[in-house]
Protein backbone atom coordinates (compact mmCIF):
# COMPACT_ATOMS: atom_id res chain seq x y z
CA UNK A 1 0.00 0.00 0.00
CA UNK A 2 1.03 3.62 -0.45
CA UNK A 3 1.91 5.77 2.54
CA UNK A 4 3.51 9.11 3.32
CA UNK A 5 6.77 8.52 5.16
CA UNK A 6 8.84 10.90 7.26
CA UNK A 7 12.39 9.51 7.09
CA UNK A 8 14.09 12.48 8.71
CA UNK A 9 12.83 15.48 10.65
CA UNK A 10 12.37 18.50 8.45
CA UNK A 11 9.93 20.47 6.28
CA UNK A 12 6.99 18.92 4.41
CA UNK A 13 9.03 18.82 1.21
CA UNK A 14 11.25 16.11 2.75
CA UNK A 15 8.36 13.63 2.98
CA UNK A 16 8.21 10.76 0.51
CA UNK A 17 5.36 8.62 -0.85
CA UNK A 18 6.29 4.97 -1.07
CA UNK A 19 5.02 1.40 -0.91
CA UNK A 20 5.00 -0.08 2.60
CA UNK A 21 3.76 -3.32 4.11
CA UNK A 22 0.05 -3.56 4.87
CA UNK A 23 -0.58 -3.39 8.63
CA UNK A 24 -2.42 -6.02 10.67
CA UNK A 25 -4.73 -5.14 13.58
CA UNK A 26 -3.99 -6.57 17.00
CA UNK A 27 -6.37 -6.98 19.95
CA UNK A 28 -8.53 -3.91 20.39
CA UNK A 29 -7.41 -2.49 17.04
CA UNK A 30 -9.11 -1.89 13.69
CA UNK A 31 -7.66 -1.85 10.19
CA UNK A 32 -9.24 1.02 8.25
CA UNK A 33 -9.21 1.61 4.51
CA UNK A 34 -8.54 5.33 4.65
CA UNK A 35 -10.72 7.42 2.34
CA UNK A 36 -9.79 10.84 3.72
CA UNK A 37 -7.38 12.22 6.30
CA UNK A 38 -7.30 15.71 7.77
CA UNK A 39 -4.16 17.81 8.18
CA UNK A 40 -3.62 19.50 11.54
CA UNK A 41 -0.91 21.95 12.58
CA UNK A 42 0.65 19.46 15.04
CA UNK A 43 1.36 17.22 12.03
CA UNK A 44 3.67 19.95 10.74
CA UNK A 45 5.45 20.12 14.10
CA UNK A 46 5.77 16.34 14.33
CA UNK A 47 7.54 15.92 11.00
CA UNK A 48 9.88 18.77 11.94
CA UNK A 49 10.70 17.22 15.32
CA UNK A 50 9.27 20.25 17.15
CA UNK A 51 6.18 18.78 18.79
CA UNK A 52 6.00 18.16 22.56
CA UNK A 53 6.51 14.46 21.84
CA UNK A 54 8.98 13.13 19.29
CA UNK A 55 8.07 10.15 17.13
CA UNK A 56 11.14 8.13 16.09
CA UNK A 57 11.70 8.17 12.34
CA UNK A 58 10.67 6.65 10.03
CA UNK A 59 6.94 7.11 10.59
CA UNK A 60 3.78 7.95 8.67
CA UNK A 61 2.24 11.23 9.88
CA UNK A 62 -1.47 12.00 10.13
CA UNK A 63 -3.72 11.78 13.19
CA UNK A 64 -7.26 12.10 11.86
CA UNK A 65 -9.02 9.87 9.32
CA UNK A 66 -12.26 8.53 7.93
CA UNK A 67 -12.82 5.34 5.98
CA UNK A 68 -14.13 1.77 5.97
CA UNK A 69 -13.36 -1.08 8.34
CA UNK A 70 -11.26 -3.74 6.57
CA UNK A 71 -10.49 -6.03 9.52
CA UNK A 72 -10.80 -6.08 13.30
CA UNK A 73 -8.71 -7.49 16.11
CA UNK A 74 -9.97 -9.47 19.09
CA UNK A 75 -12.45 -7.76 21.35
CA UNK A 76 -13.68 -5.22 18.78
CA UNK A 77 -17.40 -4.70 18.21
CA UNK A 78 -17.17 -3.14 14.76
CA UNK A 79 -17.86 -5.04 11.55
CA UNK A 80 -16.07 -5.13 8.22
CA UNK A 81 -17.57 -2.45 5.97
CA UNK A 82 -18.57 -0.05 8.75
CA UNK A 83 -17.95 3.61 7.90
CA UNK A 84 -15.91 5.15 10.71
CA UNK A 85 -13.98 8.25 11.71
CA UNK A 86 -11.25 8.29 14.26
CA UNK A 87 -7.85 9.37 15.47
CA UNK A 88 -4.43 7.86 15.88
CA UNK A 89 -1.38 9.88 16.88
CA UNK A 90 0.31 8.99 13.58
CA UNK A 91 -0.38 6.79 10.55
CA UNK A 92 -3.38 8.41 8.87
CA UNK A 93 -1.66 9.60 5.67
CA UNK A 94 -1.78 6.17 4.04
CA UNK A 95 -4.13 3.91 2.13
CA UNK A 96 -4.60 1.79 5.26
CA UNK A 97 -4.13 2.50 8.95
CA UNK A 98 -4.42 0.55 12.19
CA UNK A 99 -6.41 2.55 14.74
CA UNK A 100 -7.37 1.87 18.39
CA UNK A 101 -11.01 0.79 18.36
CA UNK A 102 -11.96 3.11 21.22
CA UNK A 103 -11.13 6.16 19.09
CA UNK A 104 -13.51 5.19 16.29
CA UNK A 105 -17.10 6.33 15.90
CA UNK A 106 -19.65 5.71 13.12
CA UNK A 107 -19.97 8.26 10.36
CA UNK A 108 -23.54 9.57 10.02
CA UNK A 109 -25.16 8.44 6.76
CA UNK A 110 -25.45 12.02 5.49
CA UNK A 111 -21.75 12.88 6.00
CA UNK A 112 -19.02 12.40 3.37
CA UNK A 113 -15.58 11.02 4.24
CA UNK A 114 -13.79 14.38 3.92
CA UNK A 115 -16.14 16.13 6.35
CA UNK A 116 -15.95 13.18 8.73
CA UNK A 117 -12.14 13.24 8.69
CA UNK A 118 -12.10 16.96 9.44
CA UNK A 119 -14.54 16.84 12.33
CA UNK A 120 -12.94 15.13 15.30
CA UNK A 121 -9.86 16.88 16.64
CA UNK A 122 -10.69 20.51 15.91
CA UNK A 123 -14.31 20.35 17.07
CA UNK A 124 -13.43 18.43 20.22
CA UNK A 125 -10.67 20.93 21.00
CA UNK A 126 -12.95 23.91 20.42
CA UNK A 127 -15.90 22.47 22.33
CA UNK A 128 -13.86 21.46 25.37
CA UNK A 129 -12.30 24.94 25.38
CA UNK A 130 -15.63 26.74 25.11
CA UNK A 131 -17.89 24.47 27.14
CA UNK A 132 -15.66 23.13 29.89
CA UNK A 133 -12.71 25.51 30.22
CA UNK A 134 -14.02 28.97 29.34
CA UNK A 135 -17.55 28.03 30.47
CA UNK A 136 -19.08 30.26 27.82
CA UNK A 137 -22.59 31.56 28.50
CA UNK A 138 -25.22 33.01 26.13
CA UNK A 139 -24.46 36.61 25.11
CA UNK A 140 -20.82 36.39 26.23
CA UNK A 141 -18.34 38.08 23.94
CA UNK A 142 -15.87 35.40 22.87
CA UNK A 143 -12.75 36.43 20.94
CA UNK A 144 -11.39 33.68 18.68
CA UNK A 145 -7.86 34.23 17.38
CA UNK A 146 -6.87 32.44 14.20
CA UNK A 147 -10.60 32.22 13.60
CA UNK A 148 -10.37 30.88 10.05
CA UNK A 149 -8.10 27.94 10.94
CA UNK A 150 -9.29 24.46 11.85
CA UNK A 151 -9.76 24.99 15.59
CA UNK A 152 -10.67 28.65 15.09
CA UNK A 153 -13.52 28.07 12.65
CA UNK A 154 -14.81 25.18 14.78
CA UNK A 155 -14.83 27.60 17.72
CA UNK A 156 -16.80 30.12 15.66
CA UNK A 157 -19.39 27.47 14.79
CA UNK A 158 -19.71 26.17 18.32
CA UNK A 159 -19.61 29.56 20.00
CA UNK A 160 -22.57 30.63 17.88
CA UNK A 161 -24.44 27.44 18.82
CA UNK A 162 -23.80 28.15 22.51
CA UNK A 163 -25.40 31.57 22.07
CA UNK A 164 -22.22 33.61 22.42
CA UNK A 165 -21.34 36.70 20.43
CA UNK A 166 -18.26 35.56 18.56
CA UNK A 167 -15.62 38.12 17.61
CA UNK A 168 -13.50 36.44 14.94
CA UNK A 169 -9.92 37.67 14.46
CA UNK A 170 -7.91 36.58 11.42
CA UNK A 171 -5.38 37.89 8.91
CA UNK A 172 -7.20 38.45 5.59
CA UNK A 173 -10.57 39.74 4.37
CA UNK A 174 -11.18 36.35 2.70
CA UNK A 175 -10.77 34.52 5.99
CA UNK A 176 -12.97 36.98 7.84
CA UNK A 177 -15.70 36.66 5.21
CA UNK A 178 -15.89 32.92 5.91
CA UNK A 179 -16.14 33.62 9.65
CA UNK A 180 -18.99 36.05 9.05
CA UNK A 181 -20.78 33.49 6.89
CA UNK A 182 -20.46 30.98 9.75
CA UNK A 183 -22.19 33.37 12.16
CA UNK A 184 -19.49 35.57 13.74
CA UNK A 185 -21.06 38.71 15.22
CA UNK A 186 -18.01 40.85 14.39
CA UNK A 187 -14.54 40.49 12.88
CA UNK A 188 -11.07 42.00 13.22
CA UNK A 189 -8.23 41.90 10.71
CA UNK A 190 -5.41 41.70 13.24
CA UNK A 191 -2.69 42.21 10.66
CA UNK A 192 -4.15 45.60 9.72
CA UNK A 193 -6.06 46.77 12.80
CA UNK A 194 -5.18 47.40 16.45
CA UNK A 195 -6.42 44.17 18.03
CA UNK A 196 -6.76 45.42 21.61
CA UNK A 197 -8.47 48.67 20.66
CA UNK A 198 -10.86 47.05 18.19
CA UNK A 199 -11.93 44.43 20.74
CA UNK A 200 -12.69 47.20 23.23
CA UNK A 201 -14.51 49.24 20.59
CA UNK A 202 -16.70 46.29 19.65
CA UNK A 203 -17.37 44.77 23.08
CA UNK A 204 -17.53 47.91 25.21
CA UNK A 205 -16.53 46.56 28.62
CA UNK A 206 -14.28 43.88 27.15
CA UNK A 207 -14.65 40.24 26.19
CA UNK A 208 -15.58 37.50 28.62
CA UNK A 209 -13.32 34.91 26.94
CA UNK A 210 -10.43 34.60 24.50
CA UNK A 211 -9.56 31.36 22.70
CA UNK A 212 -6.01 31.46 21.37
CA UNK A 213 -4.63 28.69 19.13
CA UNK A 214 -2.13 31.13 17.57
CA UNK A 215 0.10 32.69 20.24
CA UNK A 216 2.84 35.04 19.03
CA UNK A 217 2.19 38.77 19.05
CA UNK A 218 -1.60 38.41 19.23
CA UNK A 219 -1.87 36.89 22.70
CA UNK A 220 -1.04 39.87 24.93
CA UNK A 221 -3.27 42.48 23.25
CA UNK A 222 -6.15 39.98 23.29
CA UNK A 223 -5.57 39.28 26.97
CA UNK A 224 -5.47 43.01 27.72
CA UNK A 225 -8.92 43.33 26.10
CA UNK A 226 -10.61 40.97 28.53
CA UNK A 227 -13.25 42.22 30.92
CA UNK A 228 -12.67 41.84 34.66
CA UNK A 229 -12.73 38.18 35.59
CA UNK A 230 -12.33 37.15 31.95
CA UNK A 231 -10.92 33.81 30.83
CA UNK A 232 -7.99 33.33 28.45
CA UNK A 233 -7.60 29.81 27.03
CA UNK A 234 -4.31 28.99 25.33
CA UNK A 235 -4.57 26.17 22.78
CA UNK A 236 -1.43 26.32 20.64
CA UNK A 237 1.19 28.47 18.94
CA UNK A 238 0.58 28.42 15.19
CA UNK A 239 2.31 31.80 14.88
CA UNK A 240 5.54 30.04 15.84
CA UNK A 241 6.32 31.94 19.04
CA UNK A 242 5.23 31.15 22.59
CA UNK A 243 4.18 34.46 24.17
CA UNK A 244 5.36 35.72 27.55
CA UNK A 245 2.43 37.23 29.47
CA UNK A 246 3.05 39.94 32.13
CA UNK A 247 1.42 38.43 35.23
CA UNK A 248 0.47 41.84 36.60
CA UNK A 249 -2.22 41.99 33.91
CA UNK A 250 -3.69 38.76 35.27
CA UNK A 251 -3.60 40.02 38.85
CA UNK A 252 -5.02 43.50 38.28
CA UNK A 253 -8.10 42.32 36.34
CA UNK A 254 -8.67 38.99 38.08
CA UNK A 255 -8.16 37.16 34.78
CA UNK A 256 -7.95 33.37 34.56
CA UNK A 257 -5.39 31.89 32.14
CA UNK A 258 -5.71 28.19 31.43
CA UNK A 259 -4.25 25.78 28.91
CA UNK A 260 -6.21 23.02 27.19
CA UNK A 261 -4.48 20.12 25.43
CA UNK A 262 -6.62 17.61 23.56
CA UNK A 263 -4.37 14.59 24.27
CA UNK A 264 -4.78 14.85 28.05
CA UNK A 265 -8.23 16.41 28.46
CA UNK A 266 -10.09 13.09 28.78
CA UNK A 267 -7.72 11.87 31.51
CA UNK A 268 -7.72 15.16 33.40
CA UNK A 269 -11.47 15.83 33.10
CA UNK A 270 -13.27 12.52 32.42
CA UNK A 271 -16.77 13.72 33.32
CA UNK A 272 -16.55 16.89 31.23
CA UNK A 273 -15.04 14.89 28.39
CA UNK A 274 -17.88 12.36 28.35
CA UNK A 275 -20.54 15.07 28.44
CA UNK A 276 -18.86 17.15 25.72
CA UNK A 277 -18.38 14.19 23.37
CA UNK A 278 -21.99 13.11 23.78
CA UNK A 279 -23.26 16.60 23.00
CA UNK A 280 -20.90 16.96 20.02
CA UNK A 281 -21.95 13.62 18.54
CA UNK A 282 -25.59 14.66 18.76
CA UNK A 283 -24.91 17.99 17.06
CA UNK A 284 -22.91 16.31 14.29
CA UNK A 285 -25.46 13.58 13.65
CA UNK A 286 -28.22 16.21 13.47
CA UNK A 287 -26.25 18.21 10.89
CA UNK A 288 -26.04 21.26 13.12
CA UNK A 289 -22.25 21.41 12.79
CA UNK A 290 -20.12 20.52 9.79
CA UNK A 291 -16.48 21.42 9.12
CA UNK A 292 -15.64 23.85 6.36
CA UNK A 293 -13.29 22.05 3.96
CA UNK A 294 -11.13 24.79 2.51
CA UNK A 295 -8.77 22.64 0.41
CA UNK A 296 -8.45 19.04 -0.76
CA UNK A 297 -5.28 17.27 -1.91
CA UNK A 298 -4.64 13.74 -3.25
CA UNK A 299 -2.33 11.47 -1.25
CA UNK A 300 0.60 12.08 -3.61
CA UNK A 301 0.35 15.79 -2.83
CA UNK A 302 0.42 15.33 0.95
CA UNK A 303 3.65 17.39 1.29
CA UNK A 304 1.87 20.30 -0.43
CA UNK A 305 -1.09 19.91 1.94
CA UNK A 306 1.20 20.14 4.97
CA UNK A 307 2.99 23.14 3.47
CA UNK A 308 -0.40 24.81 2.91
CA UNK A 309 -1.19 24.44 6.62
CA UNK A 310 2.33 25.41 7.72
CA UNK A 311 2.10 28.67 5.75
CA UNK A 312 -1.24 29.55 7.42
CA UNK A 313 -3.12 29.51 4.13
CA UNK A 314 -5.79 27.13 5.35
CA UNK A 315 -9.37 28.24 5.82
CA UNK A 316 -11.16 25.64 7.90
CA UNK A 317 -9.88 22.12 7.32
CA UNK A 318 -7.39 20.78 4.78
CA UNK A 319 -8.16 17.21 3.72
CA UNK A 320 -6.06 14.58 1.97
CA UNK A 321 -8.23 12.28 -0.15
CA UNK A 322 -6.88 8.75 -0.50
Tens digit of pLDDT for each residue in 161-209?
999 999 999 999 999 999 999 999 999 999 999 999 999 999 999 999 9
Rounded average pLDDT over 23-41? 96
Tens digit of pLDDT for each residue in 104-135?
999 998 899 999 999 989 999 999 999 999 99
Q: What is the pTM of this model?
A: 0.90
Q: Are 321 and 190 in contact (CB under 8 A)?
A: no
Can you list the domains of the chain with their CATH numbers?
2-110+287-321 (3.90.180.10), 121-265 (3.40.50.720)
* Helix/strand/coil percent split, the chain, to 5: 35, 25, 40
Rounded average pLDDT over 296-317? 95
Q: Are 195 and 167 in contact (CB under 8 A)?
A: no
pLDDT of res. 312: 85
**All residues at 6 or more sequence positions from 147 whose CB lies less than 8 Å from its CB, including other chains:** 153, 155, 156, 166, 168, 169, 170, 175, 176, 179, 184, 187
Residue 263 in this model has a pLDDT that exceeds 90:
no
Rounded average pLDDT over 93-114? 94
pLDDT of res. 53: 86
Q: Are 144 and 159 in contact (CB under 8 A)?
A: yes
Amino acid sequence: MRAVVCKQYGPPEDLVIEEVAEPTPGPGQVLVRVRAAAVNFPDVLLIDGKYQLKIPVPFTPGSELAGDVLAVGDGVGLAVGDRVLGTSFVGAFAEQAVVPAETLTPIPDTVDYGSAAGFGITYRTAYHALRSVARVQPDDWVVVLGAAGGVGLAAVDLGVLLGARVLAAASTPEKLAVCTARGAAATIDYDREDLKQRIRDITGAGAQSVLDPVGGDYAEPALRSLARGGRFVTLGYAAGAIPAIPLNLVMLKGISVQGMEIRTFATDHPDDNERDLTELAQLFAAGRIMPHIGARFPLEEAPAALRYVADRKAIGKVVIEV
